[in-house]
Amino acid sequence: MTEPLTDSLTLLSDRLGDPTEEVYARLFRTHPDLEPLFSMDTDGGVRGSMLSQAFDCLMDLAEGPGRLAETVIRAERENHDTYDVPAGMFEVFFDIIRDVTKEAAGADWTPAMETAWTAVLAKADAFAAQQPVKA
Ligand code: HEM
């Protein structure tokens, strides 16, 4: 076991395999207005690569200074304005990833995982809101 957030993602993939379906099912259940935005994504390729970028950002923030995550999240948030993705939705997406991970971890979810996720999501959310973040 190494870094707690990354450890929790290992548990997620061990238990759920590919979590893509679960993540988007939750997103569209809580925010049905977002589903039509993916109508062109007939083979799920966009959904898959979006989620994989989000995982990369979360691990980058957990394991180091998070400069890659900062660049990607700030740039993608601007790009997503052109896809009509409303403000606040990156925060929702990251929360859903945490919730799916926590549920998959079940009794193996630790206080260190909770702490790591809280710290990482605070930074990710600040980047998504285009706010400055101290190291
Ligand atoms: C609820 C939150 C989000 C929604 C509703 C959303 C929606 C979308 C949509 C509709 C597209 C397709 C755009 C098009 O090609 O016309 C897209 C693409 C993409 N999104 Fe998101 N997005 C969200 C969050 C994120 C986050 C948090 C990240 C990364 C940190 C991200 C990264 C990407 C990337 C990299 C693509 C391009 C994927 C590809 O074409 O292979 N998105 N997003």
pLDDT tens digit sequence for 31-71: 999 999 999 999 999 999 999 999 999 999 999 999 999 99
Task: Please tell me if the CB atom of residue 70 comes closer than 6 angstroms to any atom of ligand 1.
Answer: no
Assess whether the C-beta atom of 90 lies below 6 angstroms from ligand 1: yes
Q: Where are the domains of the chain?
A: 4-30+46-128
Percent of the chain with pLDDT over 70: 98
Residue nearest (by alpha carbon) to ligand 1 atom 6? 85
What separation in Å is there between the alpha carbon of 29 and the centre of ligand 1? 18
User: What is the per-residue pLDDT for 37?
Assistant: 97
Calpha distance 38→45 (Å, rounded)? 10
Residue 74 contacts residue 127 (beta carbons within 8 Å): yes
What is the overall mean pLDDT for the chain? Answer: 96
